């Protein structure tokens, strides 16, 4: 049977060139980068090369990259690290209601520990209004954290505009760019951010390695204390193979960026084909969205049963986000754009990647109508 992977926002396959670059660092050049002898120095050099590639992908300086264990850790480090550092200046954080759980749950945790958080609403199309950010700022505000693009509905936020506001008010500004780096141009200066999170496994690198961009002069408290690695901000013997893989993946992502933007045509053909199904709708913004993201809702059916039926046809897709798909709670993102719980439950996310073809899109468009029809026939919600 044909196999079609359309869940690239959940994770991607490691590029063969990435795997190849990583291999020597497991059992040949296995030295600890802090050791002074040859294999230690080789590992150190490899890390610094990778740091250059990651910084090049986002227009940063090499010294501004802190390697972490994941995108989730980068978000935690950015948020907790900066509010703990600036505790003396205030206690207020501004974020949006559609952030990834790595940001939202970190903010909830900080609320339990004495901080105040404003969760900004979004438009029906899933966009934060910069004027709302400005209005929410108080003399107590010490951090703004708004994601660059949403992982479920793919909406791209007006980060440049928010960056200008943050700069004018001299407030630390973080963005979660895990879904944008390598898919659309990301430049830390153009965005006007002080901190930015990225993750390797969303850009054809390995799982379990991420990075935080930390603008020179932005002070944060370390969240892992130990031997003083990563400029004393993130102690831990470095994940050398993972970091090398992240470096290679970043280098490839930069080269292939023009092709990623070309996914727009494929995405739009997918959207057009799927919307021919009766009572189907596109979630998110028609234009301000990631080139690889399509998110639909179908009246009267459950996303979970759609995923299982698509799987039987060899198609890997998701409903809500991978993190929420094991819970029966409706997605907080779909609720924030104003959907009713039963509408949110009928959502389907298809995210394209480098290897997807028009043939894949045509296949999905050919199998989906029958699945929807079958599920509606047995649905208690149906008319
Ligand atoms: C995947 C993802 C994360 C988490 O990254 P991990 O490396 O999987 O921990 C954070 N934010 C967004 C927007 C994501 O898509």
The string of DSSP codes covering 306-354 is HHHHHHHTTEE-BSS-TTTTTS-SPPHHHHHTT--HHHHHTEEEEE--T
Q: Assign 329 a pLDDT band (cuts: 50, 70, 90).
A: confident
Closest residue by Cα to atom 8, ligand 1, is: 71
Ligand 1 centroid – CA 378 distance (Å): 35
Q: Is the pLDDT of residue 327 over 80?
A: no
Q: Do residues 240 and 310 share a domain?
A: no
pLDDT in tens, 61-102: 999 999 999 999 999 999 999 999 999 999 999 999 999 999
Range of the structural domain that residue 364 is part of: 4-12+260-378
Residues 278, 164 share a domain? no
Residue 324 confidence (pLDDT) above 50: no
Answer whether 72 contacts ligand 1 (Cβ < 6 A).
yes
- DSSP code, position 301: S
Q: Is 151 in the pocket of ligand 1 (CB under 6 A)?
A: yes
Cβ(69)–Cβ(210) below 8 Å: yes
pLDDT of residue 79: 98
Atom of ligand 1 nearest to the CA of 147: 13
Closest CA to 224 of 239, 210, 213, 235: 235
Number of domains making up the chain: 2
Do 77 and 210 fall into the same domain? Answer: yes
Q: Is 210 in the pocket of ligand 1 (CB under 6 A)?
A: yes
The confidence score (pLDDT) of residue 261 equals 77
Q: What is the 3-state secondary structure (H, E, C) of 207-223?
A: CCCEEEEECCCCCCCCC
Q: Is 110 in the pocket of ligand 1 (CB under 6 A)?
A: no
In a domain, 33, yes or no: yes
For ligand 1, whether the C-beta of 53 sits within 6 Å is no
CA 213, CA 75: separation in Å to the nearest integer?
A: 11
Residue 212: give its domain's CATH number.
Answer: 3.40.640.10
The minimum-distance atom of ligand 1 relative to the CA of 207 is 7
Q: Is residue 144 part of a domain?
A: yes
Which residue's structure tokens are 């264990």? 69
Query: pLDDT class for 321, splitting at 50, 70, 90?
Result: very low
Whether the CB-CB separation of 282 and 271 falls below 8 Å is answered with yes
The set of residues, in sequence order, having a beta carbon less than 8 Å from that of 20 and lying 6+ positions away, is none
3-state helix, strand, coil in the chain (%, to 5): 45, 15, 40
Shared domain for 166 and 282, answered yes or no, is no
- pTM above 0.85? yes
* 383 located within any domain: no
Query: Is 323 one of the catalytic residues?
Result: yes
Which one of 277, 323, 335, 365 is the catalytic residue?
323
Query: What are residue 67's DSSP bridge partners?
Result: 211
Of 2, 4, 1, 41, residue with least CA distance to 317: 4
Closest atom of ligand 1 to 209 CA is: 7
- CA-to-CA dists, residue 281 to 27, 134, 184, 189, 272, angstroms: 51, 32, 25, 36, 11
Query: What's the pLDDT at 383?
Result: 59
């Amino acid at each position: 049977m044909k196999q079609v992977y359309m869940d690239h926002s959940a994770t991607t396959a490691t590029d063969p060139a990435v795997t190849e670059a990583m291999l020597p660092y497991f059992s040949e050049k296995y030295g600890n980068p802090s050791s002074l002898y040859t294999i230690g120095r080789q590992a150190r050099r490899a890390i610094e090369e990778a740091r250059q590639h990651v910084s090049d992908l986002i227009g940063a300086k090499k010294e501004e990259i802190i390697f972490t264990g994941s995108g989730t850790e980068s978000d935690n480090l950015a948020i907790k690290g900066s509010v703990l550092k600036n505790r003396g200046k205030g206690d207020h954080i501004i974020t949006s209601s559609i952030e990834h759980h790595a940001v939202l749950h970190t903010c909830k945790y900080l609320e339990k520990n004495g901080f105040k958080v404003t969760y900004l609403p979004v438009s029906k199309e899933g966009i934060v209004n910069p004027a709302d950010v400005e209005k929410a700022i108080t003399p107590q505000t010490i951090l703004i954290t708004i994601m660059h693009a949403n992982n479920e509905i793919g909406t791209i936020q007006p980060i440049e505009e928010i960056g200008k506001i943050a700069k004018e008010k001299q407030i630390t500004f973080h963005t979660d760019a895990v879904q944008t780096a390598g898919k659309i141009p990301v430049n830390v200066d153009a965005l006007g951010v002080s901190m930015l999170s990225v993750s390797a496994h969303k850009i054809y690198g390995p799982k379990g390695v991420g990075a935080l961009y930390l603008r020179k002069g932005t002070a944060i408290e370390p969240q892992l204390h130990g031997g003083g690695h990563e400029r004393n901000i993130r102690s831990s013997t470095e994940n050398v193979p993972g970091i090398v893989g992240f470096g290679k993946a970043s280098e490839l992502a930069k080269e292939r960026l023009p092709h990623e933007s070309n996914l727009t045509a494929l995405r739009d053909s997918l959207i057009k084909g799927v919307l021919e199904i009766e009572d189907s709708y596109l979630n998110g913004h028609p234009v301000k969205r990631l080139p690889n993201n399509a998110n639909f809702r179908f009246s009267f059916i459950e996303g979970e049963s759609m995923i299982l039926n698509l799987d039987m046809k060899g198609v890997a897709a998701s409903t809500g986000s991978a993190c929420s798909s094991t819970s029966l709670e409706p997605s907080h993102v779909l609720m924030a754009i104003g959907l009713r719980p039963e509408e949110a439950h009928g959502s389907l996310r298809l995210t394209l990647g480098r290897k997807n073809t028009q043939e894949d899109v045509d296949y999905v468009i050919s199998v989906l109508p029958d699945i929807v029809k079958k599920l509606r026939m047995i649905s208690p919600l149906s008319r």
